[in-house]
Amino acid sequence: MMIKEMSKKTILFLSVLGILLIYSAISIDYSGLSTFSLSMGLDVLKGLSHPDWSFVYDGSGEDLVSLLLLTIGIAFLGTTIGTILAIPFTLLSASNLWKNLGAVPVVGKFILNILRAFPELVFAIIFVKVVGPGPFAGVMAIGVHHIGMLGKLYTEELEAMDEKLIEEAEAVGANFWQTLFFVRIPTLMPIYSSLSLNHFEIAVRSAATLGLVGAGGIGAPLIFAIQTRSWGKVSIILLGVILTVFALDLITGIIRRKLR
């Protein structure tokens, strides 16, 4: 009976999935394929195979190395802001901290849902209008978005925490604030640190595109190079971003393993 019931659920799920897949496929406009040119594609690949090494570093501050360092700085500062400001929202959103006031965590989670509903690019466009173009707009975009992302993850970890540790602390006379600062936070800090490091990697990838809307970083020269078909410069920029992300992934991965 249970096998039949599971089979029906599986069939229903696959049917819905198939309908969504078919709808997605037929709703896409494929007219752009009419302009596809194999020779043009080969020309692009040929251009990408010859990186412009002169763009790596020239001391102007607008070279690859300088802009990648700026991109990492934007991502790091944005992640730091998001990490710090996510903590108050986490305390507001955790239902196990507000057992007698159920409406408080609902409001907290609603705010976090709003903050993470929009990608960094949307926030970047908004902040470029508010504070003007430049790296600060990128920092604010990543920071605000990461409040929502990290706040949600922090809240889930806090709510999933073993409450026996809290009960033991309360049994020896600890109050709410003592259990918070001496039990909950020390227990969760390695997990929170690991999550922040993981989102720093994500922020670097995001910061690499925020320059497309004037929020600083490597994105602006990348889009200019694509528009002018400077494929050698596009190639070296993409290569720089790939190597940077790979190096950061290795470094943060080592740190995360030591935090476990």
Instruction: Determine, yes or no, domain membership for 45.
Output: no
Burial letters 30-58, b for 16+ CB under 10 A, else e: eeeeeeeeeeeeeeeeebeeebbeebeee
**C-alpha to C-alpha distance for 196 and 75, rounded to whole angstroms:** 11
Instruction: Determine, yes or no, domain membership for 4.
Output: no
Instruction: Determine, yes or no, domain membership for 254.
Output: yes
**C-alpha to C-alpha distance for 112 and 92, rounded to whole angstroms:** 10
Q: What is the pLDDT of residues 45-99, one digit of tens each?
A: 877 788 888 888 887 778 889 999 999 999 999 999 999 999 999 999 988 888 8
The more confident residue out of 208 and 6 is: 208
Instruction: Determine, yes or no, domain membership for 96.
Output: yes
The number of distinct structural domains making up the chain is 1
Q: What is the pTM of this model?
A: 0.81
Give the closest residue to 134 by CA, choosing from 56, 68, 220: 220
Instruction: Determine, yes or no, domain membership for 209.
Output: yes
- Segment 169-174 shows an average pLDDT of 85
Q: What is the predicted pLDDT for the residue at 1?
A: 47
- Segment 198-220 shows an average pLDDT of 86
Under the banding of pLDDT at 50, 70 and 90, the label for residue 2 is: very low
Q: What is the predicted pLDDT for the residue at 49?
A: 82
Q: What is the predicted pLDDT for the residue at 6?
A: 57
How many residues does the structure list for the chain?
260
Instruction: Determine, yes or no, domain membership for 27.
Output: no
For residue 37, is pLDDT > 80?
no
Residue-number span of the structural domain to which 177 is assigned: 59-259
